[in-house]
Structure 1
Amino acid sequence: MLPKDNKNRSTSPVCYLDEVDSSYSGIEPLSASEAVMSWRKKERRRLIDQRMATSFTTRSSRTDAIEQNLKRLLGDVRDKVISLYWPFRGEPDLRQSRTWIEKLGGRCSLPVVVMPSAPLVFRSWTSDTTLRKSAWGLVEPEASEKLNPDLILAPFVGMDQDGYRLGYGGGYFDRTLVELKKPAVVVGIGFEEQIIPTIYPQPHDVPMDWVLTETGVSKSPTQRFSGNLEEPG
């Protein structure tokens, strides 16, 4: 954020390098996309640090509220495939949701990174599934059945007011949502303090259908697909 003008503040002479030909200054100006990438990197770091600085007790309490809101959103999950996630860097830990989803007749999966810059695949996750730690430090099923999710929970680092998600910068979820052969409802999961005015969405960014935090569930203004979900009462 630029500092507010203060006439009483002593300053050095104003720099007009942005008005000088770059060949004279020796500094190449940032393109719009480069400026967004730079801003996102700093904002991502700020939001992760903020989340990690939150006490475990507070995160757990907020996560309990998130799980209750998830139950309201999902409703009848019989014969549905729900993609959960393995928590990372202080994300809401919803792993226990698998138990009640299975009891209600649903199936669960976890996303798997196949290779860099490739879409994710989703593999079945039950209490009997063999898990492994990937090269990226995430826990994922080793060789279970591939599934096509009906609903995907996408944890976010930041979420803007139009439903666009700021992740860790790898672009895996965006590539995956574009490549899915079967449309899936996508729910952004995070804490309310991670909601920001904008992430400056770019053409490759894919909006969420729903946004879910400890304070409630909201339909994204840019919702792509609602499936059979009804708005929670």
Structure 2
Amino acid sequence: MAREDQTTIGGHVIDRATKLQVDAHRKAERERLYALRRGMPQSNRAAETEQVIAALTDRLGDVAGKTIAFYWPIRGELDLRACMHALHRSGATVSLPVVVTRAAPVEFRTWAPGCAMTRGIWNIPVPAEGAPQRPDIVILPLVGIDADCYRLGNGGGYYDMTLASLPVAPLKIGVGQGFCRIDSIRPQPWDVRLDTAILGDGSIISAP
């Protein structure tokens, strides 16, 4: 049981003071990286997107019969929808995350070209219907990434909750701009380490 000076997150107990320090560090890094995204020229964004799609396609290899979870781009995230189309044509089942209940794991719902879409809880387009899928591979958008392959996301904790809840761990691949490297996210016990991160400058970071 947590003391008054502690809090519990994902079943892990942490000092409130430590959490405040970590939250402040991550918020500052997010704001810095969001600003870099906003200032990124469209030509650079397009070039980095192509670079990441090529490297990701090479990394995935034969995807026939695999279920791959992507994301719908927001806040200047790399737009990999062309890759979603290509992998669907190659025989993969493509899915997108859907927030069904706030502050709870997401479900991955099948997406296909032309499928009915609706606006989700955060006003992000999601497949309107379909049974939840269990992904073999999850592609995660990066705000930041450190050398140990810990991801800085938008701060909601949805991916960490979701990945921790899956009975079989999928392959976890982060994708982001070349400038998204940071020294450390100051990882906590509930943070889920990625297997690999592919960046727009051509670099690849792998978990130790």
TM-score (norm 2): 0.89
Identity of aligned residues (%): 36
Q: Deviations over 1:34-62 (max 9, x none)?
A: 11111111111111111111012211110
Partner of 1:15: none
2:192 is aligned with 1:203: no
Mapped partners of 1:38, 1:173: distance in 2: 20
- Specify which of 153, 159, 171 is matched with residue 185 of structure 1: 171
Q: Give the SS at the match of 2:132.
A: coil
Give the drift of 1:163.
0.5
Equivalenced residue count is: 192
AA aligned to 2:206 is: K
Give the drift of 1:119.
0.3
Farther-moved stretch of structure 1 (95-104 vs 150-159): 95-104
Give the drift of 1:128.
3.2
2:56 is aligned with 1:70: yes
Mapped partners of 1:59, 1:133: distance in 2: 25
2:136 is aligned with 1:146: no
AA aligned to 1:186 is: K
Is the CA contact 1:66–1:216 (under 8 Å) kept in the aligned structure 2?
A: no
- List, as ranges, runs of 4+ consecutive aligned residues in structure 1 with deviation greater than 4 Å: none
Mapped partners of 2:28, 2:169: distance in 1: 32
Q: Give the SS at the match of 1:31.
A: helix
Farther-moved stretch of structure 1 (126-135 vs 46-55): 126-135
- Structure possessing the higher radius of gyration over alpha carbons: 1
Pairwise CA RMSD of aligned residues? 1.2
Q: Give the SS at the match of 1:96.
A: helix
Mapped partners of 1:133, 1:73: distance in 2: 31
Partner of 2:39: 53
Is the CA contact 1:129–1:144 (under 8 Å) kept in the aligned structure 2?
A: no
Mapped partners of 1:195, 1:216: distance in 2: 10
Partner of 2:30: 44
Q: Deviations over 1:9-50 (max 9, x none)?
A: xxxxxxxxxxxxxxxxxxxxx812211111111111111111
Give the drift of 1:181.
1.9
AA aligned to 2:133 is: L
Q: Give the SS at the match of 1:62.
A: helix
Partner of 2:99: 113
Mapped partners of 2:53, 2:40: distance in 1: 18
2:67 is aligned with 1:81: yes
Give the drift of 1:130.
0.9
AA aligned to 1:116 is: R
Question: Which structure dedicates a bigger proportion of its chain to strand?
Answer: 2
TM-score (norm 1): 0.79
Give the drift of 1:104.
1.6
Mind listing any 5+ residue stretches in structure 1 that lack a counterpart?
Answer: 1-29, 222-233
Map 1:103-182; keep pairs closer than 5 Å: 103-182=89-168
Give the drift of 1:216.
3.5
Mind listing any 5+ residue stretches in structure 2 that lack a counterpart?
Answer: 1-15
Q: Give the SS at the match of 1:196.
A: coil
2:170 is aligned with 1:218: no
Give the drift of 1:177.
0.5
